[in-house]
Structures are given as structure tokens and as C-alpha cells.
Chain A
Amino acid sequence: MIWFKKSLFSKKEDSTVRIPHGLWVKCNHCSEIIYKKEVERNLDVCPKCDYHFYISAWERVGIVLDEGSFKEHDGDLEPVDALEFKDLKRYKDRLRAAHREKSAPRALDAIVSGEGLINGQRVMIAVFEFSFMGGSMGSVVGEKITRIIERGLDKRCPVIIFTSSGGARMQEGILSLMQMAKTSAAIARLKEAGIPYITVLTDPTTGGVTASFAMLGDIIIAEPRALIGFAGPRVIQETIRQKLPEGFQRAEYLLEHGMIDMIVDRKMMKTTLARLISLLAG
């Protein structure tokens, strides 16, 4: 009965639809074509299926903090090619290309950090910039996170980290790995001092970032459908040579398995953080 299905139900392929550049976007999840302005008004969340689009670190800061309250720290820390690493490209050239990238405004590495207010409550905050080398963690990221935690400790101020990262940065080799120990040690002190530490895991959060400070939050929040895991799905698939279950490593899966506290929609993020901080600090 193949001919029957074909003639009646075959759809026009998406690729044949011409989309004027920049005016419309196609949702990565439900494949709907949506007016871009509408998505932007909705905090970059698909109005049809609630898919959370990527947003830059600076956009995130704008959504979460009170207007004009953000003060950046350590914005001038620059990555260094300590290993003189070269694969098909040199690390130096990759950094240069990343610095030229327009989608990562004012970021010298894969993180923006500083302090600001959430509904009037002061917080230390660090936000990953995924567009900078896949949000990978090298020395600069590890250092900025550690400094934010130490400042939180010093000023007895809650610390919030928004993660989005492929994991440790290979081009900085073992130094990247050691950032996991460095940041976790700082968090241990924060916890002993009884200062609230909240992590928000956004799509995607994997590898050494998940296996250190991301999973150490007093409260762990995730955005809907965010991919969260230790090993990436491709690595797992290659290892076990089986199809991965539907929804594997998504935020909803982690919630079900008891690995995170809650899933919070982008629109509710600020309100939720404000409430949690006031409960923990109160």
C-alpha cells in the first residue's frame, strides 16, 4: 500500500520552504517556522513547544538580574596557550577566531562573571558562554568561577552559576582537568560556611563541568529539555553500540532519576531564584 500513503500523505519537505534570512526561525525541537520577533519577546523560548533556544551569557544576565545592577568581575582574564597545543589548527588561532566571533560579545573566554541583584538581593553570578569554544572549561573559566565563589565566601553572598559546556577544554590538557578540583575545593568552603550555592544547568551541560561544580549545588535547577550528563550521548552510543532510550540525559530524565531538584522555565527563572535565595538566606 506504499503508493497510497505516498500520494495522499507525503508532505512537502522543509528544505523546499524558502525562509527570508533573519526574519523567521525554525524551532530545533518542533521544527515550526516562527516569526523571530515573537520568539525574542518570549525570552527565546519557542511559543509552540516551549523549546529553550540558546541565549548568550549577556542576554542571560539581562533576564535574571535586576536592570542595570550587574557589575562584571575579572572580565579581562585572557586564555593562554600554555601547552602550545596544535591539532588541525593551533589553539592560538582557535582563540583568535573565537574572539572575533560576533555572537559572543565582550567575552574573552567561555564565561561571564560578576555580581548583581535579583529582586534586590545581592548575588555572585557566573554564566557560561556556549558560543565560545563550546563553553569549554580551561584555566580562565576555572579561575573566574573560583574567584566568584571566593568572593561569595568573603562577602557572605549567595552564588549562582549557569552552566552550558561541553566539558573540560582539551587544548589546555591536564590544566583543564585540574580546574575541576580547584572549583570543587572552593565550593567545599562555601558549603562549610553555610552560604547558598545554586546551579542552573542549561543545554548542554556535560563532561568535567557536570562532574564538578554543576552537580554540587545546594539546589540544582535545569532548563526544560536541557541535555545534562557526564559522557556525551555520542560517546555512550559508540561505547555500548545500542540505541539510546528516548529522552535519555534530558532534564526530565534527570529529574525522574533524582539527580536534580527541579525544572524551571526560563520565564520563571528569576522569580524562582529570588524565592530560593530569600528562603535559604532568611
Chain B
Amino acid sequence: MFFKYTRDFEKPIEAIEKRIEELKLSSASGHDVRREEIEKLEQKAKRLIKDIYSSLTPWQITLVARHPSRPYTLDYVQEIFEDFVELHGDRLFKDDPAIVGGLARLDGRPVVVIGQQKGRNTKERCRRNYGMPHPEGYRKALRLMELAGRFNMPLVTLIDTPGAAPDIEAEERGQAEAIARNLLFMSRLEVPIVSAVIGEGGSGGALAIGVADRVMMFEYSIYSVISPEGCAAILWKDGTKADLAAKALRMSAFDLMRLGVIDRIVGEPLGGAHRDPKTAAMNLKSAILDSINELSAVPSGELLQQRYDKFRRMGVFNEPRR
């Protein structure tokens, strides 16, 4: 973990943990006095992290959701599934590395898994286009969803994208059509679908793999119609007002739960998923398993009706009684 402390609010934690490291190194021989001091500091660090993370602002949550050390789709796939076989290409244009997917086993049971993938270093980030898929990425996802339907495998999608790629190539190859088609297809796919926002749920580019029977979010993830920067640039006419936009947009897991848009919040280890990726993965796994087991008991016709009703209800408006 090279970038464990990149955010301002992590600095106090860094100071204490550095001190603990130092003490541990100097007391390799093991003096009792030192051990007590270390334990005391560790308690203090724990309290500090708890304090900081229990009062994060929406903008700070955004920064955790985008933390460069945060586990990405393939990290979770490795921890949660067995026998993962990655499949490539949309059979139309090319393979988009910003979306990964394939076959795998979840607790022994074959499933299809799809997710946006960000890169860890500069080279990877460019190759994965910062997790911003092109139309061919969504069309690859569609192909894998069809596979799930044909072979009756539950579908698990992991959402982590700033949004669909906004560039000339994406437009000329039909970004909008690719996203729209996925929304349409997912609403009628006759297998259980579980989606989890693991980091950033960026607008239509996220929803394009997120029309699911159960939608869950990690505690420090975000899901929004527009990025706080984009929103600030348009409504505040000032991109630096992103912190205000993050608050106004209500994009945290708790806000979405309250608005009835998601079904479950998956808890993160103390200080965020990046501080303990294994625990985060285990929490996510048990949440996904719960949902799939529950959904597998529902006959497919009923499943589709419930999925339709779930999204049908979304929205708030006023209708005067006649």
C-alpha cells in the first residue's frame, strides 16, 4: 500500500501509525514498557479513525470512494469468487479493458460476473481508461449477460466508474445506444441480478450494468446522476465547488438507502476498504450470497415482475387527487 494516506483527513492517522511503526522497530527486542506504549497508541489510532470516519462529509466520502488504494473489481473477484475465467470482446469492434467480466463460481455455484475496472498505476490507468467504458465495453457486458440468461447463471455486477467515456470515439460508436440497450436487456433478463457499487457509481455509465434485483453499496461508495465536479461546473459555474455539489446531490450510501434507491449498505472495515481489503471482500461476499440465495427461490416470472415494480416505484412527484 504505497498510497495509504493520500487524503488530508488521513494525515492525523498517518502521524500516529508512523509513530507506532517506529516504536515497533526500536523495540524489536521487546521491552514491556514499549509494548504498553504501543498498545496505548494503537487504541488511540483506532479511536481517531473511528472519529474521523464517523463524521466524513459527503465530499470526503467521495475521496474515500476514489482512494487510489481502494480495492477494484478484479481485487474483489479474486477474493470472492473461485475459478474465475475472464472473457473478452464484444464480437463487434474490440475488447474494452475498462470493463472486465467472465464466468466464476460463488460458493461453488456458477455465476457471471461483470464490473468496471480501474488501473492501479499510470500505465494501467490509461489502458483501463480510468474505468470509463466505451460502447464496446457495454456491448461486451451485454454479451456476458446473454450468456448468463442462456445458461441460467445468476449475474453479479460490481460498479466502479466515474462514468461512461465522453469522447469522440464513444459518440461515433453509439455510447448512448449501448447504455440504453443494457438498461432494456437487464430489465428482462430471467436470472437473479445483484449489483454492488464498490467505489464510484458514475451516472448512466454505472447504471448500464446496475439494473438489478438487489442493489447494494459499500459504506463509503457514491452513486450519482453526475459527478460533483461536473455538477458544480454547471450549477455553481465553478468546478471547485465540488464539496457543495457532493452534499446537495445526496450521493452517499445512506442517502440512497433513505431515498429507496438501494436495498442494502455493506459495511466497510475501520477506516475504509483500502485499510483492510480482505475484510471488505468478505463483507461483500456474504451480502451478495444472501441476496442470490434469496432471489434463487423466486420463480423467474415473479422475479421479472418484482424487478419491474422496484424501478417502477422510483421517483417523487405530486399528483393532485381528482
CB-contact partner of B314 in A182, A187, A257, under 8 A? A182
CB-contact partner of B224 in A174, A185, A188, under 8 A? A174
Write the chain B residue with the least CB distance to A142: B315
Interface contact B187-A181, CB-CB below 8 Å: yes
- A176-B225 contact given A83-B248, A86-B248, A87-B236, CB 8 Å threshold: yes
Write the chain A residue with the least CB distance to B241: A87
Interface contact A173-B315, CB-CB below 8 Å: no
A192 / chain B contacts, CB cutoff of 8 Å: 188
A179 to B211, CA, bound (A): 11
A83 to B260, CA, bound (A): 13
Contact with B along A237-279 (1 / 0, CB 8 A): 0011000110011000100011100000000000000000000
Q: Is A131 an interface residue (CB 8 A)?
A: no
B58 to A: closest C-beta gap in Å: 11
Q: Is B172 an interface residue (CB 8 A)?
A: yes
Residue of B188, B223, B312, B317 contacting most chain A CB atoms (<10 Å) = B317
Interface contact A249-B315, CB-CB below 8 Å: no
Q: Name 14 A/B residue pairs within 8 A (Cβ), A-sorted.
A: A83-B249, A138-B315, A139-B317, A140-B317, A170-B226, A170-B231, A170-B249, A175-B316, A185-B312, A191-B184, A208-B225, A215-B176, A236-B171, A259-B174
Interface residues of B in 174-203 (CB under 8 A from A): 174-177, 179-181, 183-185, 187-188, 203
Number of chain B interface residues as a range: 35 or more
A185 / chain B contacts, CB cutoff of 8 Å: 183-184, 187-188, 211, 307-308, 311-312
- A180-B204 contact given A76-B320, A175-B259, CB 8 Å threshold: yes
A175 / chain B contacts, CB cutoff of 8 Å: 259, 261, 314-316
CB-contact partner of A174 in B180, B225, B237, B318, under 8 A? B225
Contact with B along A142-178 (1 / 0, CB 8 A): 1100100000000000000000000011101111111
CB-contact partner of A139 in B171, B179, B223, B316, under 8 A? B316
Q: Is B141 an interface residue (CB 8 A)?
A: no
A178 to B180, CA, bound (A): 12
Q: Is B34 an interface residue (CB 8 A)?
A: no
A138 to B167, CA, bound (A): 25
A189 to B307, CA, bound (A): 13
A76 to B: closest C-beta gap in Å: 5
A74 to B187, CA, bound (A): 25
Further contacts, 9 of them, CB under 8 A, given A173-B250, A210-B176, A215-B180: A77-B318, A143-B315, A146-B312, A170-B235, A174-B251, A175-B259, A178-B261, A231-B167, A259-B177
Q: Is B166 an interface residue (CB 8 A)?
A: yes
B176 / chain A contacts, CB cutoff of 8 Å: 210-211, 214-215, 229-230
A128 / chain B contacts, CB cutoff of 8 Å: none
A207 / chain B contacts, CB cutoff of 8 Å: 204
Q: Is B170 an interface residue (CB 8 A)?
A: yes
Contact with A along B245-266 (1 / 0, CB 8 A): 1001111000110010100000
Interface contact B315-A216, CB-CB below 8 Å: no
- A235-B261 contact given A88-B235, A175-B314, A214-B180, CB 8 Å threshold: no
A269 to B: closest C-beta gap in Å: 22
CB-contact partner of A240 in B168, B181, B236, under 8 A? B168
Q: Is B269 an interface residue (CB 8 A)?
A: no
Interface contact A174-B256, CB-CB below 8 Å: yes
Interface residues of B in 196-218 (CB under 8 A from A): 203-204, 207-208, 210-211
Interface contact B317-A143, CB-CB below 8 Å: yes
CB-contact partner of A230 in B164, B183, B256, B318, under 8 A? B164
Q: Give the interface of A toward B (CB within 8 A).
A: 74, 76-80, 82-83, 85-88, 138-140, 142-143, 146, 168-170, 172-182, 184-189, 191-192, 207-208, 210-216, 229-231, 235-236, 239-240, 244-245, 248-249, 253, 257-259
Q: Is B32 an interface residue (CB 8 A)?
A: no
A177 to B207, CA, bound (A): 8
- A184-B184 contact given A174-B225, A235-B166, CB 8 Å threshold: yes
CB-contact partner of B259 in A77, A88, A174, A214, under 8 A? A174
A137 to B: closest C-beta gap in Å: 10
B33 / chain A contacts, CB cutoff of 8 Å: none
- A177-B188 contact given A139-B315, A208-B204, CB 8 Å threshold: no
- A88-B236 contact given A173-B249, A184-B180, A231-B166, CB 8 Å threshold: yes
CB-contact partner of B250 in A83, A168, A230, A248, under 8 A? A83
Write the chain B residue with the least CB distance to A206: B176
Q: Is B297 an interface residue (CB 8 A)?
A: no
A80 to B: closest C-beta gap in Å: 5
Q: Is B319 an interface residue (CB 8 A)?
A: yes
B28 / chain A contacts, CB cutoff of 8 Å: none
